[in-house]
Amino acid sequence: MPRVPVVLVVDDEAPIREVIRRYLVAEGYQVVEAADGEAVMAALPTRRWDLLLLDIMMP
């Protein structure tokens, strides 16, 4: 069984994270969401990420 790629989606707007999460899950990815910098910093050391999708205009 192949390993499922893991993506960290970072955006302060929940509807945006939800749209991205739905698309990626439908394509076979495992998705973890973070809404702010604190959540990102907590999530980063927890695993080896295959992809980080970051909002460039976060407060």
* Residue 1, domain member (yes or no): no
| Other beta carbons less than 10 A from residue 58's beta carbon | 13
CA distance linking residue 15 with residue 56, whole number of Å = 16
pLDDT at 58 exceeding the cut of 90: no
We report the CATH number of the domain holding residue 46 as 3.40.50.2300
* Residue 27, domain member (yes or no): yes
- Top pLDDT among 6 and 58 is at 6
CA distance linking residue 15 with residue 17, whole number of Å = 5
pLDDT at 59 exceeding the cut of 90: no
Number of domains in the chain: 1
pLDDT, tens digit, 9 for 90 and up, residues 7-50: 999 999 999 999 999 999 999 999 999 999 999 999 999 999 99
pLDDT of residue 14: 98
Judge whether 49 and 3 are in contact, CB under 8 Å: no
pLDDT of residue 40: 96
Range of the domain at 19: 6-54
